[in-house]
Chain A
Amino acid sequence: MKTFTNIKLSATIAFTHMRARLKQTIIATAGVTFGITVFVFMVSFIQGSNDFMQAVAFEQSPHLRLYNEILTAPSNILDRAEPGIINMVSHVKPKDILLNLKDGPQIVQALQQDPRVAAVSGSVNTQVFYRLGSSSINGTINGIRFEQENALFNLQAKLVEGSFRELSTLPNSIVVGVGLAKRLNVKTGDPLEVTTEKGNNFSVKVVGIFKTGLTDIDKQQSYASLNTVQRFLEVPMSYITDIKIKLHNMELAPAMSEELQAKYGFHGSDWKQDNAALLAGDALRKMIVYGVAVTILLVAGFGIFNILTMMIYEKMKDIAILKAMGFSDTDIRWIFLIQALIIGITGALIGLLFGFLAAYGLSKVPYKSDVMITLDHLPVSFSAVYYVTGFTFGILTTTLAGYLPSRKAAGVDPITILRG
């Protein structure tokens, strides 16, 4: 109780000091405000861009993927026939394996029952040549069941013209990427030739055009129904090459990938592996923002440090007289620490407000990009985490900047001053 009234008294003295030096106080507060504003603004913008780019990339990549890969056999046949002898086999060729997933459709059904799984889609992915007239373009074709694939990747939203529905009703129909359509100069309703790896030619009809925003995909990929692609490859109905899974909690993906690989003997990869470069880039950009913000706040902190130190030199007499009256070192320390805290808290709060306003203004700026097609305004994140972080940073710096001068004030020897 006594401590509280002491601190309250120190606070009223601090307020009187600050009111007497209103201009300096406002400048110091403005320094903190500026630091926090820049921090919030920059983090919001960078995080917004990161989120947007991740969203574009992740919409095209499943949380979890199961597939087969061509590999060299782990041991050679001589070793298996004559174990215990050193056998030399040079130039081992990769094993010729079927790329299809054994019992794929059954596994898809089983996975649909798994409570962790939000959606699952089995598809056939293969290399083809798209041919129109004398030109031929290399690309991939994805045989899908539209309902399953749409649940994973929200394909419907990416359709520019035509329709996905016709894939299942019209034989030999495909939906092509916007870049591919441009290169081939085709529109919805135009015919096209597709050549498979085995050299079979099929005539197909374009029933729609999609754009994902990722140039690599839009330039070379197309969708057809699962049956159509199976027919192109001359494989049975049970043949699928990819199982793509969307989870309720994407953080479970790495662990679940291990589990499914062990259970079914396929290869697997998760979104963290697939987007490692993107995630690393995010982390680096965030580090840069924090670095810039800390630098600005340090400068603001030095401002507070200077102002308080100067004030203490001016206030030496007052400090001595307060000590003579019976104010302890701790009371004196509080007087100056409270000034720093008030500057810090006020500056940080105003900074958060200005930062929010600046970020809000930025999010209304129209922005068009050829690469990020689905973007019409600058992407800005309004996550509360950055506001809390900014506020904490601001308070920490100002407390530190106030602590050192206030310790100096507490250490003032009243006698040397009072004796003149």
Chain B
Amino acid sequence: MTMNLIEVRNINKYFYQPTQMQVLTDVSLDIEKGHFVSITGKSGSGKSTLLYLLSTMDTAFEGSIRINGEEMQGKRNRWLADFRNHHIGFVFQFHYLLPEFSVLRNVMLPALKLARYSPAEVEHRAMDLLKLLGVDVQATKRASLLSGGQQQRVAIARALINEPLIIMGDEPTGNLDSQNAAIVFDLFRQLSSERGQTILTVTHDDDFAKRSDKVIHLVDGKVAH
């Protein structure tokens, strides 16, 4: 029997600006450990909103979210930040590396924050990840000087550095050309099958969704079956 890494029960989420509007209605779902899961839906269907609720950064919701057996509802900012640091890695559509820092430093930052290993050890691990993703040559360059595809691979290395339970992606291939998108997709696939990494991405790329283990399709804030 496989364990559910994420358990979502009866979530309701409202936006209050500009007028009150229900974005998610009674959403319940389970995500198993090691699965590659895509969340799909039209724009405005609430798929990003769901992802950011699961990311623990959005705390205003009704219902229950349990990740790795821990309830997220009603936790304090510092606790949630620490939880993200330990267990969640992010990859965004617009890369979002810190432009003034070197590539290596960008990858190291979450691990320095975690402080599980010494800075020298962290640097070693970051280098290994950059090698794995084929961007180790760029390690000392400033992040803003890399191409889009390279930046996204660095962002994935950064997401992996703390060996998180889940990697969350918000349209991780949305801003890449098809060749780079294929590279990033294959990386995710590989992480999931070879490392048993749980991956949860929001995408509107049907091709991407079709090749995941599970698709959660949202229609008007509800899970479609």
Contact = CB atoms under 8 A, between A and B. Distances in A.
Q: Do A and B come from one complex?
A: yes
Interface of A: 2, 5-6, 9, 13, 16-17, 19-20, 317-318, 320-331, 414-415, 418-420
Contact of B57 (A16, A324, A420): A324
Output the residue of A325, A414, A418 with the most chain B CB within 10 A: A325
Given A9-B113, A418-B170, A419-B52, A328 B82 contact: yes
Give 7 closest A-B pairs by Cβ, nearest first.
A326-B85, A328-B81, A20-B100, A326-B84, A325-B110, A328-B78, A321-B96
Given A414-B57, A415-B52, A327 B113 contact: yes
B188 interface: no
Contacts of B57: 323-324, 414-415, 418
Given A318-B98, A415-B52, A418-B170, A328 B77 contact: yes
B100 A16 contact: yes
Nearest to B77: A329
Nearest to A328: B81
B112 A325 contact: no
Nearest to A324: B90
Nearest to A414: B57
A415 B61 CA distance: 14
Nearest to B85: A326
19 contacts: A5-B115, A9-B112, A13-B109, A16-B100, A318-B98, A321-B92, A322-B109, A325-B85, A325-B90, A325-B158, A326-B81, A326-B83, A326-B85, A326-B88, A326-B110, A328-B77, A415-B52, A418-B57, A418-B92
B86 A326 contact: yes
B92 to A, nearest CB: 6
Main SS of chain A's interface residues?
helix
Contacts of A16: 100-101
Given A6-B113, A325-B85, A325-B109, 20 more contacts: A2-B115, A9-B113, A321-B92, A323-B81, A324-B55, A324-B90, A325-B90, A326-B83, A326-B88, A327-B85, A329-B78, A331-B113, A415-B52, A415-B58, A418-B52, A418-B57, A418-B92, A419-B48, A419-B52, A420-B94
Contacts of A324: 55, 57, 84, 90
Interface of B: 48, 52, 55, 57-58, 77-78, 81-86, 88, 90, 92-94, 96-101, 109-110, 112-115, 158, 162, 170
Nearest to A18: B100
B96 A327 contact: no
Output the residue of A2, A318, A326, A327 with the most chain B CB within 10 A: A326
Contacts of B58: 415
A16 B77 CA distance: 25
A376 B144 CA distance: 63
Contacts of A418: 52, 57, 92, 96, 170
A325 B170 CA distance: 14
Contacts of A2: 115
A339 B85 CA distance: 24
Given A5-B115, A325-B113, A317 B52 contact: no
A5 B101 CA distance: 19
Contacts of B81: 323, 326-329, 331
Nearest to A12: B112
A19 B142 CA distance: 13
A419 B115 CA distance: 29
Contacts of A322: 98, 109
A328 to B, nearest CB: 4
A52 to B, nearest CB: 53
Nearest to A410: B77
A316 to B, nearest CB: 11
Contacts of B84: 324-326
A9 B105 CA distance: 12
Given A328-B77, A329-B78, A415-B57, A317 B96 contact: yes
Output the residue of B52, B83, B101, B113 with the most chain A CB within 10 A: B113
A54 to B, nearest CB: 55
Given A326-B114, A328-B78, A419-B48, A321 B98 contact: yes
A414 B55 CA distance: 11
A13 B81 CA distance: 17
A148 to B, nearest CB: 75
A415 B98 CA distance: 17
Contacts of B92: 321, 418
B125 to A, nearest CB: 16
B174 to A, nearest CB: 11
Nearest to A9: B112
A323 B85 CA distance: 9
A320 to B, nearest CB: 8
B170 A326 contact: no
Contacts of A331: 81, 113
